[in-house]
Amino acid sequence: MTVLTGTGLHKRYGNLHVLDDVGFTAAAGEAIGIVGPNGAGKTTLLNVLAGSVTPDSGTVRLGGDDVTRSGPQIRCRRGIGRAHQIPRPFGGMTVLENVLVGATYGAGLRGRAAHRHGIEVLRRCELLDLADRRAETLGLLHRKRLEMARAVATGPRVLLLDEIGAGLTDAEAAELVTTIRDLVAAGITVVWIEHIVHVLLQVVDRLICMDAGKVIADGEPTAVLRDAVVVDAYLGKGR
Ligand SMILES: Nc1ncnc2c1ncn2[C@@H]1O[C@H](COP(=O)(O)OP(=O)(O)OP(=O)(O)O)[C@@H](O)[C@H]1O
């Protein structure tokens, strides 16, 4: 069953054709990686799927409904969660309070139900021990975890992750892999932009490669990485 679809997506900034007839589908429970050189249009695609950028043309469908003109808050309530590349927690709030924002405004929970849900999300995202810590005191790994936990707290069908591994050590990224795998196993569809390909490959069952606003490959990860067009555009001819 398809949960999220983008069809014929175009986005221009001035003369720059950032999305050039991009098509995208995600089936329920899939884990999809998106790779490509800097400036390929990956984050713009995520923005268009999440609703923070409106495409010039094309449609986005969530579970069959056209959400192209719906803003990010509406899409969030309807099941698209998003973790940004640079985590921006509410610094003066505790870790639990941050997650409760997602539970309240995204999942529509109140009172004890929101609290119970928030605790469960912190457990799944391995932040329970830090529930009462002020978010501004967290190190990068825990900030990344909190960025993801806030999105998970909204109760997403689809979780969009933008370079969640960036800036982490290999050991830290490996810890995140375990958490993301658990989310996929729990039935959440994950769409993950990441430059650290070996980390991505531990989670995803499909890989999309973008270059200059176009999808240049989409399929089984090892096949995509061997594709001559992908090697040329992204991995370098020397490999
Ligand atoms: N709001 C904007 N206004 C003008 N240009 C933009 C805007 N957003 C993105 N761009 C440009 O569009 C191109 C694609 O950007 P995007 O962030 O989608 O690429 P990316 O593949 O995610 O790159 P990276 O891997 O470096 O994050 C870049 O050249 C970027 O400078």
Looking at residue 239, its pLDDT comes to 46
Residues having CB within 6 Å of any atom of ligand 1? 13, 16, 18, 36, 38-44
Evaluate if residue 11 carries a pLDDT over 60: yes
pLDDT-based confidence at 235, cuts 50/70/90?
confident
pLDDT-based confidence at 193, cuts 50/70/90?
very high
DSSP 3-state assignment of 135? helix
Residue 159 tokens read as 């979780």
Residues 6+ apart with CB under 8 A from 142: 95, 127, 130
Q: pLDDT of 69-103, one tens digit each?
A: 999 999 999 999 999 999 989 999 999 999 999 99
Looking at residue 237, its pLDDT comes to 54
Reported as half-sphere exposure (CB side, CA atoms, 13 A), residue 119 has a value of 5
Evaluate if residue 159 carries a pLDDT over 50: yes
Looking at residue 64, its pLDDT comes to 86
> 10 Å Cβ neighbour count for 208?
24
pLDDT-based confidence at 228, cuts 50/70/90?
very high
Name the residue type at position 61.
R
Pocket test for ligand 1, best of 11, 13, 210, 215 (most atoms within 8 A of CB): 13
What percent of the chain has a predicted confidence (pLDDT) above 70?
99
Mean pLDDT of the chain: 95
Q: How far is the CA of 44 from the centre of ligand 1 (A)?
A: 6
Name the residue type at position 16.
L
Evaluate if residue 9 carries a pLDDT over 60: yes
Ligand 1, atom 24: closest residue by C-alpha: 38
- Over residues 113-132, the mean pLDDT reads 97
Looking at residue 101, its pLDDT comes to 95
Which of ligand 1's atoms lies nearest the C-alpha of 47? 18
Which of ligand 1's atoms lies nearest the C-alpha of 16? 12
Q: How far is the CA of 213 from the centre of ligand 1 (A)?
A: 10
Name the residue type at position 69.
R
Q: pLDDT of 24-59, one tens digit each?
A: 999 999 999 999 999 999 999 999 999 999 999 999
Angle at 115 between CA 112 and CA 121, to 5 degrees: 145
Ligand 1, atom 27: closest residue by C-alpha: 38
Looking at residue 236, its pLDDT comes to 78
Indicate whether this complex's ipTM tops 0.85.
yes
Pocket test for ligand 1, best of 9, 12, 35, 42 (most atoms within 8 A of CB): 42
Q: Where are the alpha helices (DSSP H) in 102-239?
A: 111-124, 140-153, 170-185, 197-200, 221-226, 228-230
Q: How far is the CA of 19 from the centre of ligand 1 (A)?
A: 10
The CA distance from 237 to 142, in Å, is: 37
pLDDT-based confidence at 111, cuts 50/70/90?
very high
